[in-house]
């Protein structure tokens, strides 16, 4: 469901017109710049979703709109509305303020520190206060006054509070009264639709008994939101809960990966986790899916006239101070998983979630979640550089991923099958599964950031600000030759090597590599603009130009590079360019490619472009370091 913006809507944080993002748990609408700060705070602070380019459950969107229109923002800016705050110099951000530090500092104070929320009088026993607030919430959710309930939640009321006298939770009350928007708000704050009352009935039962059948169906969807989101991420399909189907689990067509000892060990460790630890891991993977999907939307909707901006993607899951340092590091390491590795983990979690829900017992000792992540990651890599990556500290930096190598060797280039465990599968679903699993979350802004930093050591800043004009495109014959080369590299999973040629340790100059990187980047910018403007007929010509630029970039390097890092980066560069062309061809007229989901194809096109950008960035980094030694 798309959001139709009204001209009167402004960003809740800086008052910029026409906000296009929402913070679901805060009940507000925000602009691009403020959204970039919200994302950096983490989902435990703000859950953001694009109003137009992200699918919305209609009642969830209605809940956010209702809160926004009824002044939910005044909850978070309560003390700023006091005239005394103006006298003290405190004010909210304005559209003209810089993102950093002005808007960022204001937004952190507003939502992370809750600096402007109305404070209750201090009491010795905070638990009594929370209980009183929760009882007020319990009685308030039977009405349609959403902002009152949001205020109570902001002060510490518990969404899952079990009323000792009434014998049920606020969600039971909202369901019985048919208050769908209240149920949405409670669910956002963690209310569980599967919670039983003192008689063993759930909120779903309450809704059905009250004749609120649409609400009952929605509560079932909320109950399976985590696994539904993971399944949709992999194959663009959700289960039909109305028909009793609650899980969709894609499978790998080539079982060689699944039969490996490391894969078996990882699955065994996953299955032996306690339900509590399994739930934690599943929630962390859910957050990582949200980060990757929001990154794709974020980059597709930005102004790509320049890639160096204050508002960047979020490279790792932000730290949640309520979690242990070990869990936070494990959450951040999920960003290192390439598409295939991450899909493997997601599928394993979906499979085990289904097993656990059906009550299939499995004996085994408890294992550390970290071992599971390491096992999944190591299934695809025997290179030593994957094992000595540093742990993340409390703030992960872009530089942590400079030498990350996500390219796959031939045994990682697995085809995918939509052998879904529930229900028949169409050819379109097969293609959705196959396409979705090649996605990667690589951030294109990092490319130019790295290029600029590295080039400063060899050329003047003025040279970078006036980049070399891209070379003219090669003749069509040359382009076809380049495509044939890419097909070979994609199929074999390695750079074609002349057996008579000895490995070469020589590398091109940093200036040449940066020049070609700029050429690739300019073409990617053009493609991203086409995606942003829904100019699908421009995809194929854009991909052709990117392919030619990639071929020129690859030609700079020896046929048989001695460095494994160089070979891996070149492999990712060329195979991604080939994959990009394949994805772009799916935008041909419908009669040529029937059943095409253009939104899914666009997401894959964008993410293929990020793979190319990441590989080019890696080559810039490698050549700069080698040439400076």
CATH number, residue 107: 1.10.220.150
On whether both 51 and 79 belong to a single domain, the answer is yes
> Based on the number of CB atoms within 10 Å of its own CB, is 70 exposed (0-12), middle (13-18) or buried (19 or more)?
middle
Distances (CA, A) of 137 to 151, 169, 186, 546: 9, 10, 10, 56
User: Cα(393)–Cα(524) distance, rounded to whole angstroms?
Assistant: 32
Say if 87 falls within a structural domain.
yes
Least-confidence region, from 194-208, 416-430, 457-471: 457-471
Say if 89 falls within a structural domain.
yes
pTM of the entire predicted model: 0.65
Residue 509 DSSP code: -
pLDDT in tens, 212-240: 999 999 999 999 999 999 999 888 889 99
* pLDDT of 471 higher than 50: no
Residue 241 CA neighbour count, 13 Å, CB half: 15
Say if 410 falls within a structural domain.
no
Q: Are 134 and 158 in contact (CB under 8 A)?
A: yes
On whether both 515 and 622 belong to a single domain, the answer is yes
Residue 288 CA neighbour count, 13 Å, CB half: 25
Q: Are 328 and 409 in contact (CB under 8 A)?
A: no
On whether both 520 and 566 belong to a single domain, the answer is yes
> Which pLDDT value is given to residue 451?
46
* Averaged pLDDT for residues 521-538: 84
Number of domains the chain contains = 4
* pLDDT of 419 higher than 60: no
Q: Please provide the size of the chain in residues.
A: 629
User: Cα(234)–Cα(231) distance, rounded to whole angstroms?
Assistant: 5
Give the relative orientation of helices 275-301 and 598-628 as an angle to the nearest 10 degrees. Answer: 90
On whether both 315 and 349 belong to a single domain, the answer is yes
Say if 67 falls within a structural domain.
yes
If DSSP codes are grouped into helix, strand and coil, which group holds residue 23? strand
User: Cα(483)–Cα(251) distance, rounded to whole angstroms?
Assistant: 30
On whether both 133 and 96 belong to a single domain, the answer is no
Q: Three-state SS string across 317-380, please?
A: CCCCCCCCHHHHHHHHHHHHCCHHHHHHHHHHHHHHHHHHHCCCCCCCCCCCHHHHHHHHHHCC
On whether both 286 and 219 belong to a single domain, the answer is no
Distances (CA, A) of 429 to 292, 393, 419, 443, 597: 21, 40, 10, 27, 10
Q: Which of 78, 112, 146 is the last residue of a domain?
A: 112
CATH of the domain at 142: 1.25.40.20
User: Cα(235)–Cα(417) distance, rounded to whole angstroms?
Assistant: 10
Q: Are 269 and 375 in contact (CB under 8 A)?
A: yes
* pLDDT of 50 higher than 80: yes
User: Cα(574)–Cα(565) distance, rounded to whole angstroms?
Assistant: 14
Q: Are 392 and 373 in contact (CB under 8 A)?
A: no
On whether both 524 and 619 belong to a single domain, the answer is yes
Cα-flanking dihedrals φ and ψ of residue 64, to 5°?
Answer: -65, -45
On whether both 87 and 197 belong to a single domain, the answer is no
Q: Which of 64-68, 591-595, 621-625 has the highest mean pLDDT?
A: 64-68
Residue with the larger pLDDT of the pair 59 and 514 = 59
On whether both 554 and 577 belong to a single domain, the answer is yes
Say if 24 falls within a structural domain.
yes
Say if 526 falls within a structural domain.
yes
Domain span at residue 583? 510-628
Q: Are 30 and 49 in contact (CB under 8 A)?
A: no
Q: Which of 47, 80, 112 is the last residue of a domain?
A: 112
On whether both 350 and 267 belong to a single domain, the answer is yes
Say if 290 falls within a structural domain.
yes
Which ranges constitute the DSSP H helices of 156-260?
170-177, 180-188, 203-209, 213-223, 225-235
On whether both 303 and 198 belong to a single domain, the answer is no
On whether both 38 and 78 belong to a single domain, the answer is yes
Tokens 């009952």 -> residue: 216
- Between strands 21-23 and 28-30, the pairing is antiparallel
pLDDT in tens, 149-160: 999 999 999 999
Say if 203 falls within a structural domain.
yes
Q: Which of 178, 208, 227 is the last residue of a domain?
A: 227
Residue 211's region, left for phi above 0, alpha for psi from -120 to 50, else beta, is left
User: Cα(71)–Cα(82) distance, rounded to whole angstroms?
Assistant: 15
- Between strands 28-30 and 48-50, the pairing is unpaired
Q: How confident is the model at residue 409 (pLDDT cuts 50, 70, 90)?
A: very low
Q: Are 178 and 210 in contact (CB under 8 A)?
A: yes
């Amino acid at each position: 469901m798309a959001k139709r913006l009204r001209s009167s809507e402004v960003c809740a944080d800086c008052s910029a017109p026409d906000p296009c993002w929402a913070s679901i748990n805060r009940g507000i609408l925000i602009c691009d710049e403020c959204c970039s700060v919200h994302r950096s705070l983490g989902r435990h602070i703000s859950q953001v979703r694009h109003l137009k380019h992200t699918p919305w459950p209609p009642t969830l969107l209605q809940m956010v709109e209702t809160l926004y229109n009824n002044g939910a923002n005044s909850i978070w800016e309560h003390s700023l509305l006091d005239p005394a705050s103006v006298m003290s110099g405190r004010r909210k951000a304005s559209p003209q303020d810089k993102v950093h530090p002005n808007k960022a500092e204001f937004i952190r104070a507003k939502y992370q520190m809750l600096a402007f929320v109305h404070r209750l009088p201090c009491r010795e026993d905070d638990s009594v206060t929370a209980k009183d607030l929760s009882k007020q919430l319990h009685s308030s959710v039977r009405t349609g006054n959403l902002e009152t309930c949001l205020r109570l939640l902001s002060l510490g009321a518990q969404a899952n509070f079990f009323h000792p006298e009434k014998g049920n939770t606020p969600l039971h009350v909202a369901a019985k009264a048919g208050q769908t928007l209240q149920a949405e708000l409670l669910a956002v704050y963690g209310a569980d639709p599967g919670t039983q009352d003192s008689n063993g009935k759930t909120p779903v039962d309450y809704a059905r008994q009250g004749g609120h059948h649409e609400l009952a169906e929605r509560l079932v969807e909320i109950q399976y939101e985590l696994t539904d989101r993971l399944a949709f991420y992999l194959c663009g399909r959700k289960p039909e809960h109305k028909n009793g189907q609650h899980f969709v689990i894609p499978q790998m067509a080539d079982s060689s990966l699944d039969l490996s000892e490391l894969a078996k060990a990882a699955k065994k460790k996953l299955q032996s986790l306690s339900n509590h630890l399994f739930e934690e891991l599943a929630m962390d993977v859910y957050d990582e899916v949200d980060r990757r999907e929001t990154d794709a939307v974020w980059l597709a909707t930005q102004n790509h006239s320049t890639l160096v901006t204050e508002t960047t993607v979020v490279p790792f899951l932000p730290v949640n101070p309520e979690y242990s340092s070990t869990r936070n590091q494990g959450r951040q390491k999920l960003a290192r998983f390439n598409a295939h590795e991450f899909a493997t983990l997601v599928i394993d979690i979906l499979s085990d979630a289904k097993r656990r829900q059906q009550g299939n017992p499995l004996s085994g000792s408890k294992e550390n979640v970290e071992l599971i992540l390491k096992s999944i990651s190591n299934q695809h890599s025997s290179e030593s550089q994957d094992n000595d990556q540093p742990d993340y500290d409390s703030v992960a930096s872009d530089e942590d991923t400079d030498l990350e190598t996500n390219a796959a060797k031939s045994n990682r280039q697995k085809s995918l099958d939509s052998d879904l465990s529930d229900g028949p599968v169409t050819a379109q679903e097969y293609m959705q599964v196959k396409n979705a699993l090649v996605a990667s979350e690589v951030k294109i802004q990092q490319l130019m950031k790295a290029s600029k930093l590295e080039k400063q050591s060899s050329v003047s800043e003025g040279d970078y600000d006036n980049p070399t004009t891209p070379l003219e495109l090669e003749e069509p014959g040359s382009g076809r030759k380049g495509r044939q080369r890419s097909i070979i590299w994609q199929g074999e999973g390695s750079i074609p090597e002349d057996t008579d040629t000895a490995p070469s340790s020589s590398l091109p100059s940093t200036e040449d590599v940066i020049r070609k990187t700029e050429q690739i980047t300019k073409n990617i910018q053009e493609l991203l603009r086409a995606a942003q403007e829904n100019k699908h007929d421009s995809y194929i010509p854009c991909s052709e130009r990117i392919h030619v630029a990639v071929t020129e970039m690859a030609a700079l390097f020896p046929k048989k590079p001695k460095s494994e890092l160089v070979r891996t980066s070149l492999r990712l560069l060329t195979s991604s360019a080939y994959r990009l062309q394949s994805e772009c061809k799916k935008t041909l007229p419908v009669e040529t490619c029937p059943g095409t989901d253009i939104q899914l194809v666009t997401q894959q096109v964008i993410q293929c472009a990020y793979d190319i950008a990441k590989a080019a960035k890696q080559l810039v980094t490698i050549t700069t370091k080698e040439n400076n030694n």
